[in-house]
Structure 1
């Protein structure tokens, strides 16, 4: 069984090697090692260790993706099995209907799609297309991201693509520390369902909305394609890898950062600011009233 000290050492090694802002890693390491030397982590069980180290990490580096996570599912510690958490997250998406929680038609022929996660653009394409097909003839669309906890940039780009006419819209870029590369994200040329054009789109947000969910909300808002209704989101804009540092503990390391082509920045630390700010539990009612009023 790994000691808490060894777990923390493994986590710091991952952070130092992969964090998207390498200039911040020395301060992170110094702070955590200082707490370790002071005995702050002695005797803590797994969940409490994760909570305590995460609080210390974010005190010195307020990046909401930089954390230790406890998982009830045992993780392989073999290097050959380390894929940055992709396989586990893909399995979660498949079990959760590719993140599509609900599709409905509301009063006034308003469509509603509720998402809990943002799927990949490969595995998730048919499910995303099926949802968009069901609302294809609505008069307005409400995309409910209030409980959306994240997902894949490629999937976020696919969701956004439905609201633009072609593949000529440069949505955003993602800079990756490894390789010092920047990947561009454009609207997708071929989609498995009709595009949703010339009709209002409302995106619902809450204090829970995070990461990939924020990506969709921020991108559609910045490009003038949706009205965001609800509460300011959590503020996590950095694509992240997950690495097992113990059988039930993961370190999540932001390895890249998003750059919106309209704003030149992202929502990290500040969240997505709604166009119509209301308590999250009132956002659907507010968006539905606006959608029904719109000619």
Structure 2
């Protein structure tokens, strides 16, 4: 569990995370630049962090009963002295994260330590200096767009590692879909996609449908079960890919959060075929909450519900249509696509070329 947490934290810190009530850490939480200097803690500091964590959980967590149980368990451990030997701020954040995830099995639960003091107004905009530094870091990773190409057989391929904020990625999505517009099928690689902004999930999905389509609902149990319906848009800025051509999504156990949101929505609507491994299983959207001057946590507060199955993927992941190891997923997807293209192709010469490519892969 701890290795998974560290991996997720590193990925989110390197790329941008979700905005608003996103499916991962908010963009302002991204830690960039040199490693932080650790802080030495005393008993009062540890108690303040645990007490505030318990309060935030009971106030905001998606499951009120489970939040109460967790708060009681952490307070008991605090009284028993389980945390007394932890003098490192970074170690306390890791320990609390592991404890929460082990008890509730919710991978969006996370505590982070920040060397730089956190404003009491956690909704406050970042300073211009912080914004500029983060923007440079995100640009280095192209906001999650890791690769785009045309595979043999005229199959489009998009390697997407993150769903960045719409204001940063809308142009990239448009450019990508323009370059892929004349392909006969499309593969979107989500095997290393660990989350991001749900609004960008809707934006990319909008290119793959011919008309507005209901993707999912986000339900907020602690807010009188308020429901936010999430649909694709009637129009897109550029050229729509449409829904007549095959779309395949590649998944792995590292596919997480918004990556799973995209995969489940396209699977449930019948728009895409999933190939690979069962995904990570993080479906609860949430928000950042300040604990103390140097500690922040992510508190999952919502339920992502499919309008088709009326379930989500929390704790179980999204099951692919074709389950294979993530290393074989790209080849398997190409084989499946080529078979479909060959069966429908009327040009004898192109059909033979597709068959030769299939023979190389099959």
When normalised by structure 2's length, the TM-score is 0.74
For the pair 1:140 / 2:185, whether they are aligned, the reply is yes
Gaps of 5+ in 1: none
What is the CA deviation profile of residues 105-157 of structure 1, one whole-angstrom value per residue up to 9, with x for unaligned ones? 11111111111111233432111111111111111111001111111221111
Give the whole-Å Cα distance in 2 for the aligned partners of 1:249 and 1:293.
53
Runs of 4+ in structure 1 over 6 Å off: none
**Which structure carries more strand by proportion?**
1
Cα distance, 1:273–1:229 mapped onto 2, change above 3 Å? same
Partner residue in 2 for 1:96: 141
* Structure number with bigger Rg: 2
Give the whole-Å Cα distance in 2 for the aligned partners of 1:136 and 1:98.
21
2:300 to 244, 251, 254: 254
For the pair 1:34 / 2:76, whether they are aligned, the reply is yes
Give the whole-Å Cα distance in 2 for the aligned partners of 1:192 and 1:99.
20
The count of residues paired between Structure 1 and Structure 2 equals 290
Task: State whether residues 76 and 244 of structure 1, in contact with CA within 8 Å, keep that contact through their aligned partners in structure 2.
Answer: no
Aligned residue for 1:280, secondary structure, equals coil
2:275 to 210, 229, 232: 229
Q: Within 5 A, what are the aligned runs for 1:1-295?
A: 3-44=45-86, 45-70=88-113, 74-82=115-123, 91=135, 93=138, 96-167=141-212, 169-177=213-221, 179-180=223-224, 181-197=226-242, 198-246=244-292, 249-295=295-341
Give the whole-Å Cα distance in 2 for the aligned partners of 1:290 and 1:248.
51
Gaps of 5+ in 2: 1-38, 342-362
**Which structure carries more helix by proportion?**
2
When normalised by structure 1's length, the TM-score is 0.90
Aligned residue for 1:242, secondary structure, equals strand
Give the whole-Å Cα distance in 2 for the aligned partners of 1:248 and 1:280.
38
Cα distance, 1:166–1:93 mapped onto 2, change above 3 Å? farther
Give the whole-Å Cα distance in 1 for the aligned partners of 2:233 and 2:97.
37
Cα distance, 1:59–1:83 mapped onto 2, change above 3 Å? farther
Aligned residue for 1:294, secondary structure, equals helix
